[in-house]
Amino acid sequence: MIKISDLTVHFGGVVALDNITVDIQDDIVGVIGPNGAGKTTLINVLSGFVLPDSGAIDVEGVDLLSLAPHRRARWGLARSFQKVQTADNLSVADNIWVSLDTSASIGMRKSAALNRVLEYVGLVDMANVPAAMLNPCQRRMTELARCLVASPRIVLLDEPGGGLSECEVDRLRYVIGNIKANFGAQVLLIDHDVELIRSVCSKTMVLDFGEIIAYGPTETVLQDENVKAAYLGTEIGT
């Protein structure tokens, strides 16, 4: 469980997160909102890329903000980025192995963990291929595999559906939707693809101008008039 209390982040005059308080308990929770709403900032604070001005975050009894970013990773916090971060000159396997190099004991042989995650994301046949040769979906899957390989407790995903075709999003839906069952980790999923959010997230939080304007069961939230208004110009399917 992620317990966020009174979290505020300013960038100069911009209030990116405005006194947010929320308990995140469900296995897969969506985070949606218009551009600039504060979604990535929330993941950046959780992962240690941004220091908040005030507030506290408790994850499973741990004071997260007291840990340096690398210690959060060792504790079991994994994240992906809006712009996929793969090293082009490394193979798929080596791109994933990077997470194992910095991880603590993961309760199984590291090579077994690598094989398991390659199989899970469907990249077994591509293990030795340089990342430069991958298509966008395979790059995204490589990044997801890197998030999952070291037995994380919490996985933060920043727009993993961005730039993928519909059929690729189907695959992504399976991979994200089964993280809890296969790896035991809680997932926080930011995406603009409302159908992806709707299909995998039991609860969803909506940010607007740094504030939580709705949080609850995904379908209820998507039907909320305030949420529809915040998304004016963006269609939310009924």
Among 11, 61, 83, 128, binds ligand ATP (CB under 6 A): 11
Q: State the nearest-atom distance from the C-beta of 36 to ligand ATP, in Å.
A: 4
Q: Which is nearer to ligand ATP, 41 or 186 (CB)?
A: 41
3-state secondary structure (DSSP) of residue 45? helix
3-state secondary structure (DSSP) of residue 215? strand
Q: Which is nearer to ligand ATP, 117 or 159 (CB)?
A: 159
Question: Pairing between strand 77-79 and 154-158?
Answer: parallel
Q: State the nearest-atom distance from the C-beta of 20 to ligand ATP, in Å.
A: 12
Number of residues that bind ligand ATP (CB under 6 A): 11
Query: Residue 45 carries which side chain, given as an amino acid letter?
Result: V
| N residues, the chain | 238
Q: Which is nearer to ligand ATP, 126 or 197 (CB)?
A: 197
Name, in order, each residue with C-beta under 8 angstroms of 185's C-beta and a sequence gap of 6 or more. Answer: 76, 78, 148, 151, 152, 153, 154, 155, 179
Report how far apart the first and last C-alpha atoms of the chain are (Å, whole number).
30
Q: State the nearest-atom distance from the C-beta of 218 to ligand ATP, in Å.
A: 18
Q: State the nearest-atom distance from the C-beta of 190 to ligand ATP, in Å.
A: 7
Question: Pairing between strand 203-208 and 211-217?
Answer: antiparallel
Estimate the crossing angle of helix 136-148 against helix 166-177, to 10 degrees: 10
Q: Which is nearer to ligand ATP, 41 or 99 (CB)?
A: 41
Count other C-beta atoms under 10 Å from residue 64's C-beta: 22
Q: State the nearest-atom distance from the C-beta of 139 to ligand ATP, in Å.
A: 19
Q: Which is nearer to ligand ATP, 16 or 114 (CB)?
A: 16
Q: Which is nearer to ligand ATP, 45 or 118 (CB)?
A: 45
- Under the binding rule (CB under 6 A), the answer on residue 83 touching ligand ATP is no
Q: Which is nearer to ligand ATP, 14 or 132 (CB)?
A: 14
Closest C-alpha to 89, from 124, 132, 135, 118: 132
- Under the binding rule (CB under 6 A), the answer on residue 16 touching ligand ATP is yes
Binding mask 27-56 for ligand ATP (x = CB under 6 A): ------x-xxxxxxx---------------
What residues numbered 173-232 form the site for ligand ATP, per CB under 6 A?
Answer: none
- Under the binding rule (CB under 6 A), the answer on residue 14 touching ligand ATP is yes
Name, in order, each residue with C-beta under 8 angstroms of 35's C-beta and a sequence gap of 6 or more. Answer: none
Q: State the nearest-atom distance from the C-beta of 35 to ligand ATP, in Å.
A: 3
Consecutive H or E run containing 118: helix 110-121
Residues that bind ligand ATP (CB under 6 A): 11, 14, 16, 33, 35-41
